Homo-oligomer: A and B are copies of this chain.
Amino acid sequence: MMRTSGKPTRERIVDAASKLFYGEGIRAVSVDAVAEKSGLTKRTLYYHFQSKDELIAAYLDGRDQPNLALFQRWFSEAEGGIDQKIRAIFQNLAEAARHPRWKGCGYLRTAAELADMPGHPAIKTGIAHKKRVEVWLASAFAAEGVRSPELLARQIILLLDGCFAVVLLNRDASYMETAGEAAATLVKSALAQTGRENR
């Protein structure tokens, strides 16, 4: 083992790949660039990963858990009824999107870049991630007694990915706040159908 830094080599490669792939796009970043950024040779990179595709999949795998955890934190730390907690997710997202290095959702951008390879492992990872967010949302809505929590979760996901896409295009983060209002409206509308009031 010739590592000088504390992090294991594989992790260093994935870190470098994440920054580059997210920042510039998958097809725009060469394997050479990832190797250079991680301070290793390309030969070493190919010792740890069989192909660029495998590296892409590893990049997205590494974002799954942290991303979901962030949403859950924003949700649980927010005050007010569930409609306000959902809205808080969008507000936090708007703040993040105003950072100059923000470049949309890595999963959606990867799906866009690999639109002609629907079976690519990275796409499957993306589908699984979005599904996890959706299932978590549905369970939160079910706990509030919403009649069709799965349906409402899908609607929120659509607004979530919608604001990712729109803001990536026009760089106007206020659309995220608009999406948050729409989400709150949908939640309240679903709650009204249960016969109870939101706080």
Beta-carbon contact of A168 and B115 below 8 Å:
yes
**Identical chains bound together, number:** 2
Nearest B residue (CB) for A162: B162
How many residues of chain A have a CB within 8 Å of chain B?
47
Q: Is A186 an interface residue (CB 8 A)?
A: yes
A190 → B minimal CB distance (Å): 9
Residues in A135-193 with C-beta less than 8 Å from chain B: 151, 154-155, 157-166, 168-171, 175, 178-179, 181-182, 185-186, 189
Q: Which of B24, B108, B154 contacts A165 (CB 8 A)?
A: B108
A161 → B minimal CB distance (Å): 4
Q: Is A75 an interface residue (CB 8 A)?
A: no
A181 → B minimal CB distance (Å): 7
A163-B158, A181-B155 known; A113 vs B27 contact (CB < 8 Å):
yes
Compute how far the CA of A104 lies from the CA of B162 in the bound complex, rounded to whole angstroms. Answer: 13
8 A/B residue pairs, CB under 8 Å, sorted by A: A25-B112, A155-B181, A159-B162, A159-B182, A161-B162, A162-B165, A185-B185, A185-B189
Q: Given known contacts A23-B116, A107-B169, A109-B113, what 4 new A-B pairs fall within 8 Å (CB)?
A: A24-B116, A112-B112, A155-B181, A160-B162
